[in-house]
């Protein structure tokens, strides 16, 4: 096996011999910036007790079909079974909490929880009367968005990521405000429709999370209990985050009008959900990576 113990690797053997290094070489290297010397200076070679597979062609050992089947069964089928079984109760709980919180700022008589059919059973959503923006508000938002949009574009400098996001937000708000200036009566959504779409999307995301994380983490030698833990924690986070956003969305739509519904829809909806899913994946993989990098039995070379 290549992992046999060596005092040092072959390159360091020759490079460490000062006779091999010509004087001119050493002078040239000494003249380099400090950050490059560590790469170039043969004298900086590190003595190694064990040679691990080089990163270029190492790979992980393939899982057996049984292992994959068990992962799919436990991490997807089982977890999704619970979500399918309990989503009516979970959405009801979310709606009740949302109603209770909103009732502290909005008259309780205006807030209702209504059922809506989804997959095979009802989800529960909060509905309350919404408000259309005034012409004045629409014009102000349109002018501000337009000004920012053109200012950003006409500034002949590079637009950094945060400004690109602001331009995107301005573009959505500009479109929405123009719509409400000219076609206010044709706005096709109300609070109930928005609530339904939001809650149903979130339920869909809870169902999708086990798929995404199971497939993405499938290759890695991580104990199944950890993978299950990551998936469950991600779903729980998603539920709490969905609840918080739901309260904020409904409150903002009620107080600032439907003008900002498009923004919530495109910027703060499922778009944001993907970030924490990737976050869970990266946390899990980062931890696993540190634990498994030097376990030679987990790695293969070429085949």
Instruction: Restricting to residues 102-131, name those near another protein by CB under 8 A.
Output: none
Residue 162 is a binding residue for another protein (CB under 8 A): yes
CB of 61 to another protein, least distance (A): 8
The total number of residues shown for the chain amounts to 303
CB atoms < 10 A from the CB of 85, how many? Answer: 11
Of 230 and 288, which CB lies nearer to another protein in the complex structure?
288
Give the whole-angstrom CA distance, residue 149 versus residue 147: 5
The answer to whether the beta carbons of residues 219 and 60 sit under 8 Å apart is: yes
Contacting range for another protein; rule: CB under 8 A; set: 77-85, 90-98, 248-256, 283-291: 283-291
Select the residue interacting with another protein from 44, 50, 62, 89 (CB under 8 A). 62
Contacting range for another protein; rule: CB under 8 A; set: 2-10, 28-36, 100-108, 141-149: 28-36
The H or E element containing residue 114 is strand 112-118
Q: Closest Cα to residue 258, out of 200, 140, 173, 196?
A: 173
| Bridge partners of residue 50, in order along the sequence | 5
Q: Which residues contact 221 (CB under 8 A, 6 or more apart)?
A: 60, 61, 288, 292, 295, 298
CB of 9 to another protein, least distance (A): 13
Give the whole-angstrom CA distance, residue 111 versus residue 98: 10
Residue 31 is a binding residue for another protein (CB under 8 A): yes
Question: Between residue 194 and residue 213, which ones bind another protein under the rule CB under 8 A?
Answer: 196-197, 200-201, 204-205, 208, 212
Residue 269 is a binding residue for another protein (CB under 8 A): yes
Residue 83 is a binding residue for another protein (CB under 8 A): no
Q: Which residues contact 136 (CB under 8 A, 6 or more apart)?
A: none
Residue 22 is a binding residue for another protein (CB under 8 A): yes
Of 22 and 109, which CB lies nearer to another protein in the complex structure?
22
Contacting range for another protein; rule: CB under 8 A; set: 97-105, 132-140, 161-169, 251-259: 161-169
| Bridge partners of residue 5, in order along the sequence | 50
């Amino acid at each position: 096996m290549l992992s046999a113990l060596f005092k040092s690797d072959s390159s360091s053997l020759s490079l460490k011999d000062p006779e091999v290094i010509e004087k001119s070489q050493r002078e040239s290297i000494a003249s380099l910036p400090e950050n490059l010397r560590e790469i170039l200076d043969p004298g900086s070679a590190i003595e190694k007790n064990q040679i691990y597979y080089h990163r270029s062609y190492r790979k992980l050992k393939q899982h057996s079909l049984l292992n994959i089947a068990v992962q799919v069964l436990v991490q997807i089928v089982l977890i999704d079974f619970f979500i399918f079984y309990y989503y009516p109760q979970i959405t009801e709980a979310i709606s009740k909490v949302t109603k209770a919180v909103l009732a502290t700022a909005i008259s309780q008589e205006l807030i209702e929880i209504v059922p809506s059919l989804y997959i095979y059973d009802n989800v529960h959503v909060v509905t309350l009367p919404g408000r259309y923006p005034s012409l004045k508000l629409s014009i102000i938002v349109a002018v501000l968005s337009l000004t920012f949009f053109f200012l950003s574009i006409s500034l002949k400098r590079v637009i950094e990521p945060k400004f690109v996001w602001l331009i995107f937000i301005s573009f959505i708000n500009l479109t929405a405000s123009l719509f409400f200036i000219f076609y206010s009566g044709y706005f096709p959504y109300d609070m109930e429709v928005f609530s339904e779409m939001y809650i149903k999307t979130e339920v869909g995301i809870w169902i999708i999370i086990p798929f995404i994380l199971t497939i993405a983490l499938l290759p890695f030698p991580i104990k199944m209990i950890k993978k299950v833990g990551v998936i469950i924690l991600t779903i729980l986070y998603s539920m709490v985050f969905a609840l918080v956003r739901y309260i904020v969305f409904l409150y903002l739509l009620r107080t600032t009008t439907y003008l900002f519904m498009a923004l919530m829809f495109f910027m703060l909806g499922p778009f944001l959900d993907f970030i924490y899913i990737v976050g869970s994946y990266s946390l899990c993989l980062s931890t696993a990576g540190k634990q498994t990098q030097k376990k030679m039995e987990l790695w293969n070379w070429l085949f």
